[in-house]
Amino acid sequence: MNFTTIQIIAFIGAAAAMAILFGIGFYEGLRKGKREAFDIGYQRGLHSHRHELVQARRDVDAAQHTLTMSRFHAAQALEANTAELDTCRKHVADLQARCMTEDDTHQLVAMADKLILAANTFAGLGSHDQAQICRRLSAHARDLFDRYWRTVPVMEVEVMA
């Protein structure tokens, strides 16, 4: 079998065309594979970013919920402390109303002095029973006054140097 020059050139051209088509196909396959790989990675990246965004939003919501609950508990504690403070203030006011003040002690001393005067007056009139009662009441008033001053804390005056 003898090939003519035209047949040889046609065979070489066909082989060259096949090599070129094979190269183009291979190159396009690589390009498409890279594009698909990039798209898959991009989609995974988007999915990953979406997942991270959703997780971040959940974390923010949880932090806001925790902050809201902390504020709520702080408000409840403040309210409880305020109620306890009001109760303590009422108790202190009640105790102050029940306790003797310095003015009360001065009045007590004045009454003791008046009772001594009344006892002397009754003794002068000859009513010794009434005079004795007035002296006992006066002594009792003085004892109350002394007990009060023994229970009052001593105020220390600081000397400035």
pLDDT value for 159: 47
- Write the DSSP assignment of 92-153 as a string of letters: HHHHHHHSPPHHHHHHHHHHHHHHHHHHHHHHHHT-HHHHHHHHHHHHHHHHHHHHHHHHSP
Long-range contacts of 145-152 (CB under 8 A, 24+ apart): 145/105, 145/108, 145/109, 145/112, 148/100, 148/105, 148/108, 149/105
Which has more pLDDT, 106 or 39?
106
Instruction: Please tell me the least confidently modeled range out of 19-23, 35-39, 118-122.
Output: 35-39
Among residues 151, 131, 150, the alpha carbon closest in space to that of 139 is found at 131
**Single pTM value for the model:** 0.42
Mean pLDDT, the chain, rounded, equals: 85
Mean pLDDT, to the nearest integer, of 131-147?
90
**Interaxial angle between packed helices 128-151 and 102-125, expressed in degrees from 0 to 180 and rounded to the nearest 10:** 160
The yes-or-no verdict on residue 160 having pLDDT over 60 is: no
Give pLDDT tens digits for 63-94. Answer: 999 999 999 999 999 999 999 999 999 998 88
> pLDDT confidence of 1, banded at 50, 70, 90?
low
Can you tell me the distance from the alpha carbon of 142 to that of 148, in angstroms, rounded to the nearest whole number?
10
- Mean per-residue pLDDT for 125-150? 89
Radius of gyration of the chain (CA): 54
With vertex at residue 87, the alpha carbon angle to CA 81 and CA 93, rounded to the nearest 5 degrees, is 135
Q: Is the pLDDT of residue 157 over 50?
A: no
- 33-71: per-residue pLDDT in tens? 888 877 766 666 556 677 778 888 999 999 999 999 999
